[in-house]
Every structure is written in C-alpha cells, then in structure tokens.
Amino acid sequence: MKTAIRITASCAFIAAMTTTATAQMPSGNVPGLNPNGPGYSPYLNLLRSGNSAGFNYYGLVRPELQFRNAFKGMEQQIGANQAGIAQLNDQRGLPVTGHTATFLNTGGYFMNMSGGGNKSLGMSPGRPGVAGAGGMMGGASRGAGAGPR
C-alpha cells in the first residue's frame, strides 16, 4: 500500500513539474506585444556616467524613442504599400514581367569561335580560310554582332 502511494505521489509531482510555468512568455503572437521587442530600455542611457541626466535624456533617450517611433511608422507604411500592391495585382491580373538573370552568362557572345552570330565553324562564308575583320574568324567585324538572341 505504501508503494502505491509513493508511486502516485511521484507521478503527481512529475505531472505538476511538466506543466508550463505561468511566469514564462506565452508562445505565439500576443496582441499588444512586439515579438521582436527592444533588447533594452532606452531609459538605461540615463544612468551613463560623464554627463548630466538632462543631457543623457535629451541627447540619448529622446532621439532613440523618436527613432523607434519613426521605424514603427515606416513599418506600417510598408505594410500598407504591400497590401495595396497585392490588391492592385489581384484586380488587374497583370502577368509577371522580366526574365531570369544568370551571373556571368554572356549568352554565347564571347569565348566562341563563331564570332558574332555566324555558326559556320569559324570560317568566313564567302572566302574559305580567310579570317574576318579584326582578326576574328567568321568574317564579323568588331561591334557587329548577331543581335539579341
């Protein structure tokens, strides 16, 4: 009987210890709380040595508070702009424009033997065995390319 009471008491103790502590920050977004809140209070700058408290307040604390308020306002404006742009895209149904870009992709214009857009194995079409203008094989002069591909 004493063993059963000990087991029940130890299970109850373990169950009580595994619940969340009420002093812990609740998980998820809590209305009114910034999840990425400031790491420190700007009012800690009042305690800096070397200057008076008035100088620290007007020179450090108030500019920091003004900066944080301006940053919050800018975040709200960015959110409103993004929502407006998304709403316009939904209304108009515009297609996605542009093209993909690749780093160091020359599109076949450089480091090839054809010179320009001529794909005739590097030989000039009218004069076999003769290099084109500027010493390039293929008969293409400098600056004359095949155009966009």
Q: How confident is the model at residue 39 (pLDDT cuts 50, 70, 90)?
A: confident
Residue pLDDT, tens place only, 9-24: 887 777 777 666 566 6
Task: Say what the pTM is.
Answer: 0.40
pLDDT value of position 67: 94
Q: Is 17 or 47 the better-scoring residue by pLDDT?
A: 47
User: Dmax over Cα atoms in the chain, in whole Å?
Assistant: 110
